């Protein structure tokens, strides 16, 4: 048997994508990623749990070929997104007798995305089981981590939860198991922030399902396997909670220095007052850094120059992302600079309308900030400091 052994008759046949630096043409991957795929060999049947990104199909199919497994009976598909399902057509072509085991919603997606024939599917429901002979798979629907059709597969005898994206991390490593919890924590938080933050409520329900199981290991579809499941479950509970931290984030851009000066002033003053503050120069930071900070922060101050009567496009783009991620931000404001006028605040307010945050009086300066403007900035700072004291 080739593949890396995880437990008796359970093997890792996934791919490490060391060089990938962007996912969905949107999400930066500073540490690459992995597409985890697992073989579970029962006394009667063999199951493959998830496949890999089709970009890596040759390597992946070679990994499968190099195992001693000559027949795959079931391909458990926890999630239809192509980084896990994309090699399904190739696996089905080689292992003709295999059935794709998944829920009805995932089947519908797979038929649309990969054009797989109806008779290739075995549809299962929530909590149903499938015996491989001495190994029993049980399926749990875990919708919205981050698509509506996602499920997790629990290997009853070994107490392993194959959770797919849920609890995953974009973290390419040759370590099969988590060895550096703080590094994986950071990577998992970035991943949570980028795709799961809008679904906190649904994720809370899924965590209740997971906590109802006796789990020894969580084997996600990205990143290393957790032998200490509590670590990542507790992290998720913290990230989805309603708690915010007294932190001020300032996503901004500046063309000729006026906004930069304002941001520098705000950053210095909040620091002096003991409030955590972090500026994000949007042309230099990556969106994952900002997303990760949004998980906890109480306050966002968006900084932009007026460009063609509205916010700078880099700022508008960040506002769209913040709006889509629906962070639990409590307070939001705008600072900016203009030459002759426009709808900077109105546009940014409209672009962030999903946020349930209290809007605090913005401060716009004509050109560079002057003595009177600094007084208004001091007032904005005082309001935010007070509100953060009362969290
Ligand atoms: Fe890793 Fe939603 O795919």
Q: What is the pTM of this model?
A: 0.96
Distances (CA, A) of 253 to 156, 310, 344, 370, 376: 52, 13, 13, 19, 20
Co-location of 251 and 204 in the same domain: no
Co-location of 287 and 200 in the same domain: no
- Residues 48-55 have a mean pLDDT of 98
Residue 21 in tokens: 């630096």
Co-location of 179 and 290 in the same domain: no
Classify the C-alpha dihedral 179-87-139-67 as positive or negative.
Answer: negative
Q: Residue 204 pLDDT more than 80?
A: yes
Co-location of 236 and 252 in the same domain: no
Q: Is the peptide bond before 7 cis (omega within 30 degrees of 0)?
A: no
**Which of 240, 272, 303 is the C-terminal boundary of a domain?**
240
Average pLDDT, rounded, for the chain: 97
| pLDDT recorded at residue 264 | 98
Residue 78 CB–ligand 1 contact under 6 Å: no
Q: What are φ and ψ of residue 221, in 5° steps?
A: -95, -5
Residue 222 CB–ligand 1 contact under 6 Å: yes
Q: Looking at the 3D structure of the chain, how many domains does it have?
A: 2
**Distance separating alpha carbons of residues 106 and 6, to the nearest angstrom:** 27
**Which of 240, 258, 276 is the C-terminal boundary of a domain?**
240
Residue nearest to atom 2 of ligand 1 (CA): 81
**Distance separating alpha carbons of residues 387 and 391, to the nearest angstrom:** 7
Co-location of 236 and 274 in the same domain: no
Co-location of 254 and 128 in the same domain: no
Residue nearest to atom 3 of ligand 1 (CA): 81
Co-location of 260 and 142 in the same domain: no
Q: Work out which ligand 1 atom sits closest to the CA atom of 146.
A: 2
- Residues 136-140 have a mean pLDDT of 98
Q: Work out which ligand 1 atom sits closest to the CA atom of 164.
A: 1
Residue 200 CB–ligand 1 contact under 6 Å: no
- pLDDT-derived band at 1 (thresholds 50, 70, 90) equals low
Residue 379: give the domain boundaries: 245-389
**Distance separating alpha carbons of residues 130 and 109, to the nearest angstrom:** 22
- Residues 350-360 have a mean pLDDT of 98
Residue 77 CB–ligand 1 contact under 6 Å: no
Expressed in angstroms and rounded, the spacing between residue 7 Cα and the centre of ligand 1 is 25
Co-location of 288 and 140 in the same domain: no
Q: Residue 81 pLDDT more than 70?
A: yes
Q: Work out which ligand 1 atom sits closest to the CA atom of 195.
A: 2
- Residues 238-261 have a mean pLDDT of 98
Co-location of 23 and 156 in the same domain: yes
| pLDDT recorded at residue 383 | 98
**Which of 218, 240, 262 is the C-terminal boundary of a domain?**
240
Residue nearest to atom 1 of ligand 1 (CA): 165
């Amino acid at each position: 048997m080739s593949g890396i052994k995880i437990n008796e008759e359970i093997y890792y046949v996934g791919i490490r994508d060391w060089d990938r630096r962007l996912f969905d043409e949107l999400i930066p991957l500073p540490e690459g990623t992995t597409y985890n795929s697992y073989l579970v060999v029962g006394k009667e049947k063999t199951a493959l749990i998830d496949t890999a990104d089709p970009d890596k199909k040759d390597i992946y199919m070679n990994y499968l070929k190099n195992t001693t497994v000559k027949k795959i009976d079931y391909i458990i598909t926890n999630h239809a997104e192509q980084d896990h399902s994309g090699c399904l057509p190739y696996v089905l072509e080689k292992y003709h007798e295999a059935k794709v085991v998944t829920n009805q919603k995932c089947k519908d997606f797979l038929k649309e995305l990969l054009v797989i024939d109806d008779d290739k599917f075995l549809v299962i429901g929530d909590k149903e089981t499938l015996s491989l002979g001495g190994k029993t798979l049980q399926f749990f629907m875990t919708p919205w981590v981050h698509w509506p059709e996602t499920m997790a597969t629990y290997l009853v005898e070994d107490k392993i939860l194959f959770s797919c994206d849920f609890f995953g991390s974009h973290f390419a490593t040759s370590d099969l198991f988590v060895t550096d919890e703080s590094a994986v924590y950071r990577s998992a938080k970035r991943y949570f922030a980028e795709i799961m933050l809008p679904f906190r409520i649904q994720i809370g329900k899924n965590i209740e399902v997971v906590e109802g199981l006796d789990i020894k290991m969580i084997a996600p579809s990205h990143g290393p396997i957790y032998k200490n499941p509590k670590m990542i479950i507790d992290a998720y509970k913290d990230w989805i909670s309603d708690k915010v931290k007294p932190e001020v984030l300032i996503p901004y851009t500046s063309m000729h220095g006026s906004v930069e000066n304002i941001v520098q002033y705000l950053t210095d003053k909040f620091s002096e007052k003991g409030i955590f503050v972090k500026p994000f120069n949007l042309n230099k930071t990556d969106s994952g850094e900002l997303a990760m900070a949004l998980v906890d922060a109480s306050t966002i101050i968006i900084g932009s120059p007026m460009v063609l009567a509205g916010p700078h496009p880099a700022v508008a783009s960040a506002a769209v992302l913040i709006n889509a991620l629906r962070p639990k931000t409590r307070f939001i404001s705008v600072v900016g600079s203009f030459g002759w006028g426009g709808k900077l605040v109105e546009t940014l307010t409209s672009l962030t309308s999903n946020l349930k945050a209290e809007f605090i009086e913005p401060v716009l300066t004509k050109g560079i900030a002057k003595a009177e403007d600094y007084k208004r900035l001091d007032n904005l700072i005082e309001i935010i400091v007070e509100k953060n004291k009362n969290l």
